[in-house]
Chains A and B, each alone.
Chain A
Amino acid sequence: MLCRTANELYWMARHIERAENTARLLDVTYRMSLLPYDAVEPGLAWAEPWAVPLITSGLATAFYERFPQLSAESVLRYMILDARNSSSIFCCLRAARESARAVRGAITSEMYEDLNSAWLEMRGQNYDKIQTSGVSEFLGWVKMRSHLFRGVTFGTMLRDEGYHFIRLGTHIERGDNTARILDVKYHTLLPSAAEVGGAVDYYQWGALLRSVSGFESYRKIYSDVITPRRVAELLILRQDMPRSLHSCMNFINETLAVLCDDSSTEIRRASGELHAKLRFARTDDIIRFGLHEYLMEFLDRISDLGDEISSHFLVPTFQDKA
């Protein structure tokens, strides 16, 4: 497969996944913002729920350059519709569609048709329309479009290299996003682990779980109160939880096993090591090491892995390789 094609497919998948995760984050923020927390615990970071999606995505500085005032409207405009914010849902869907268009021969026509119609609908959106039809409805639509695209991909695409690069992009982005969500919630929302237990914490952790579709799974697995330790275990170490770091690394590792040959042993090694660390880790060790530190290290490692993949498969130099 052409490097350029692999690169476009990989980024198409990452952008769709990013749009979905942004929608998840905004949705949970929106729901939380409807609850009267200020009155319950003044001074908690949650008093500024709309800062959360900005911090999680590392966009707070860029946001304040554009908008003087933090408000539901300004954050929603920035994160959903802003054509100048390359991480907005608008830009992610546009980029995904542009990638698909650039390599439309490498995907099935159903996939292109699905993504193109998502983009055409997105292009017709504006803030007033979203407000009228409901913010949650719109964000639900984004998630559904992402599910749909993944389903169409799964159901129609030949299991060729292109498919594997799509899978790779999806799970690298998802691993990154889950780690970010977990980290910011941990730090921004929870002054200390000891305060767990009140109504506020219930909603905070509940919200975090919901944002990664983990609330119901948590109940099923633990049938008990929500504790940060278990949330960390669920979202980092449980491999049956499809958005957990371990699960993402399972996918990445399996996919690289298919894609790599003798020339790419370093990528296999890096991915294998990261995978093994998750597979054999213990929750207590992570808490002792510091959840934030642990997640930061994971983000660095997965970003390095992404760079390796990029320089080996996607944009390599061809010097006398012929």
Chain B
Amino acid sequence: MHATGGAIRPQYRAFSDWLESTPPDKIARKRKEAEGAFHRLGITFAVYGEDSGTERLIPFDIVPRIIPAGEWQTLEQGLKQRVKALNLFLHDIYHGHSILKAGVIPAERVLSNSQYRPEMQGMDVPGGIYAHVAGVDVVRAGEGDYYVLEDNLRVPSGVSYMLENRKMMMRLFPELFATQAIKPVEHYPDLLLETLHAVAPASEDHPEVAVLTPGAYNSAYFEHAFLAQQMGVELVEGQDLFVQNDAVYMRTTRGAQRVHVLYRRVDDDYLDPRAFRADSTLGVPGLFAAYRAGKLTLANAIGTGVADDKSIYPYVPDMIRFYLTEEPILNNVPTWQLHRDDDLSYCLDHLADLVVKEVHGAGGYGMLVGPAASAAERDAFRARIVANPAKYIAQPTLSLSTCPTFTESGLAPRHIDLRPYVLSGRAISLVPGGLTRVALREGSLVVNSSQGGGTKDTWVMAA
């Protein structure tokens, strides 16, 4: 909210004025109201490892994160460019391997990656699109300077919080929306449905879309149900589907009904016990055969995980240059790959300044934030790195931007990131905004909800 030197950045001025002129008890009342409403609406996520079925609220902070119009424009262009290249990369590595042949990325990095799916080799998917929904995590470091932290191309979640946070802010503070030109995000479900229709098997004039969920005990179940409802399509579990003659059907009260597009929120491994993990009870036997036969589109496609893997991440700028012959608009965070000896020794020498992540990890688990860790924690992590360096990458800790956030001791700056949702169908589109996550603990850089992060509404200003 504040520029270096303490002046209020222009996009926050109206909000800051409003905050100062609003009595603290009204703010406190509104915050309580928000919490009550989230509980009642059941906007919760399940926490693994605690009592089974525990549902928790993701803490919601009423101070919005505000992005000026110009800054968003650059960000939007950069995101579209990046996702376009990632889809071209996925198509390439499952077809002619030109980027590998050109030596831009070492072939074994891709082909022996555990996320690479040899089953997908040579298979065509509608429009050549693999990552229909991408949740690209970006952070701002310095004025208008955005860095991509991660490209989430498997089943990125959180978009329902983006939508519910906006709804909540409009319910609590309608006056703010009346006096400021904040770009709307509410049409996201329409865009998503349009995207899913666009990638249906070619022969279908009226494709039937459904959302596939692992079920009510999944941590993101609320979101699955929410999106199905907002799009007006069925929310199905594996048990609701069956495959016959390579076509997928839903079990309905009026008999069997075809499904052509599955927006699936089930991981690759669990989709089809015949093709992947045999012990999966979440999937549908024969689903992969239907997919291969071209009678079903899966969004996202199978095998996208190889492109958002942390060992591939360092090559994304080169992908953009290779496929698009353009310079990347968004920065990558400099990354040390610890399978390289030089990088490893640098990392071990500078552990206190670096963030170390597991190559295949996600969700903020299995990472070390050097500056925030104790010497003992660093030593323990050092041992793990030395035991298996190839499992890790390291990045510098960026001076992440902060946003004022309500804490127990009043308003205080907290680190934030942003996950915009990029949709690829007939075209690449995204709504102006995304999910802003905030690290609620002082000094913390970890924003994941599983690690005590909260969320904020994200305002992209119209001008």
**Chain A interface (Cβ < 8 Å from any Cβ of B):** 1-6, 98, 101-106, 109, 112-113, 116-117, 120, 161, 165, 259, 261, 263, 313-314, 316, 318, 320-322
A102 and chain B: residue at smallest CB distance:
B216
**Chain B interface (Cβ < 8 Å from any Cβ of A):** 39-42, 215-216, 221-222, 225-226, 228-229, 234-237, 239-240, 242, 244-245, 247, 249-256
Asked whether, in the complex, the Cβ of B253 is within 8 Å of the Cβ of A313, the reply is: yes
A120 to B36, CA, bound (A): 11
Closest CB-CB distance, A215 to chain B, in whole Å? 35
Closest CB-CB distance, A9 to chain B, in whole Å? 11
A101 and chain B: residue at smallest CB distance:
B216
- Assuming A4-B240, A109-B41, A116-B40, is B247 touching A322 (CB within 8 A)? yes
Q: Can you list 30 A-B pairs, Cβ within 8 angstroms, ordered by A?
A: A1-B252, A2-B234, A2-B236, A2-B251, A3-B240, A3-B252, A5-B234, A101-B216, A102-B216, A103-B225, A104-B222, A104-B225, A105-B226, A105-B228, A105-B234, A106-B229, A106-B235, A112-B42, A113-B42, A116-B40, A116-B42, A117-B40, A165-B253, A314-B253, A316-B251, A318-B251, A318-B256, A322-B242, A322-B245, A322-B247
Closest CB-CB distance, A315 to chain B, in whole Å? 9
B227 and chain A: residue at smallest CB distance:
A105
A204 to B420, CA, bound (A): 66
- Assuming A2-B240, A4-B240, A320-B244, is B41 touching A259 (CB within 8 A)? no
Closest CB-CB distance, B332 to chain A, in whole Å? 38
Closest CB-CB distance, B72 to chain A, in whole Å? 30
A6 to B234, CA, bound (A): 12
Q: Note all chain A residues with C-beta closer than 8 A to B40.
A: 113, 116-117, 120
With A2-B250, A4-B251, A101-B216 already in contact, 4 other A-B pairs whose C-beta atoms are closer than 8 Å? A104-B225, A263-B255, A316-B251, A318-B242
A186 to B101, CA, bound (A): 87
A3 to B253, CA, bound (A): 5
Asked whether, in the complex, the Cβ of B251 is within 8 Å of the Cβ of A3, the reply is: yes
Asked whether, in the complex, the Cβ of A321 is within 8 Å of the Cβ of B255, the reply is: yes
Asked whether, in the complex, the Cβ of A161 is within 8 Å of the Cβ of B253, the reply is: yes
A263 to B252, CA, bound (A): 14
Of A116, A161, A318, the contact of B41 (CB 8 Å cutoff):
A116
Asked whether, in the complex, the Cβ of A259 is within 8 Å of the Cβ of B253, the reply is: yes
- Assuming A102-B216, A103-B235, A322-B244, is B41 touching A112 (CB within 8 A)? yes
- Assuming A109-B41, A112-B41, is B253 touching A321 (CB within 8 A)? no
Asked whether, in the complex, the Cβ of A104 is within 8 Å of the Cβ of B42, the reply is: yes
Q: Note all chain A residues with C-beta closer than 8 A to B250.
A: 2
Asked whether, in the complex, the Cβ of B253 is within 8 Å of the Cβ of A1, the reply is: yes
A161 to B254, CA, bound (A): 10
Of A2, A109, A113, A165, the contact of B252 (CB 8 Å cutoff):
A2
B250 and chain A: residue at smallest CB distance:
A2
Closest CB-CB distance, B246 to chain A, in whole Å? 11
A162 and chain B: residue at smallest CB distance:
B253
Asked whether, in the complex, the Cβ of B41 is within 8 Å of the Cβ of A113, the reply is: yes
A98 to B236, CA, bound (A): 16
Q: Note all chain B residues with C-beta closer than 8 A to A113.
A: 40-42
A161 to B253, CA, bound (A): 9
Which residue, A102, A112, A113, A161, has most C-beta atoms of chain B within 10 A? A102
A107 to B254, CA, bound (A): 19
- Assuming A112-B41, A113-B40, A113-B41, is B225 touching A105 (CB within 8 A)? yes
Q: Note all chain B residues with C-beta closer than 8 A to A102.
A: 215-216
Counting from the closest, the 7 A-B pairs by CB-CB distance are A105-B229, A322-B244, A322-B256, A105-B228, A105-B225, A104-B225, A105-B235
